Chains A and B, each alone.
Chain A
Amino acid sequence: AQSVSQHNHHVILSEAASLELGCNYSYGGTVNLFWYVQYPGQHLQLLLKYFSGDPLVKGIKGFEAEFIKSKFSFNLRKPSVQWSDTAEYFCAVEVSGFQKLVFGTGTRLLVSP
Chain B
Amino acid sequence: DVKVTQSSRYLVKRTGEKVFLECVQDMDHENMFWYRQDPGLGLRLIYFSYDVKMKEKGDIPEGYSVSREKKERFSLILESASTNQTSMYLCASSFGREGTYEQYFGPGTRLTVT
Contact = CB atoms under 8 A, between A and B. Distances in A.
Interface of A: 6, 9, 32, 34, 36, 42-46, 49, 51, 90, 92, 94, 97, 99-106
Nearest to B35: A103
Contacts of B58: 100
A64 B101 CA distance: 19
Given A34-B102, A51-B99, A90 B107 contact: no
B98 interface: yes
Interface of B: 31, 33, 35, 40-45, 48, 50, 58, 90, 92, 94, 96, 98-99, 101-103, 105-108
Given A44-B90, A99-B101, A101-B43, 4 more contacts: A9-B40, A44-B43, A100-B58, A106-B42
Main secondary structure of the interface of A (DSSP, over half): strand
Given A44-B90, A105-B42, A100 B48 contact: yes
A100 B33 contact: yes
A13 to B, nearest CB: 21
A31 B29 CA distance: 21
A51 B105 CA distance: 20
Given A44-B90, A49-B102, A51-B99, A103 B107 contact: no
A74 to B, nearest CB: 15
Nearest to A107: B42
A45 B42 contact: no
Given A43-B106, A97-B98, A104 B31 contact: no
A32 B102 CA distance: 10
Contacts of A104: 42
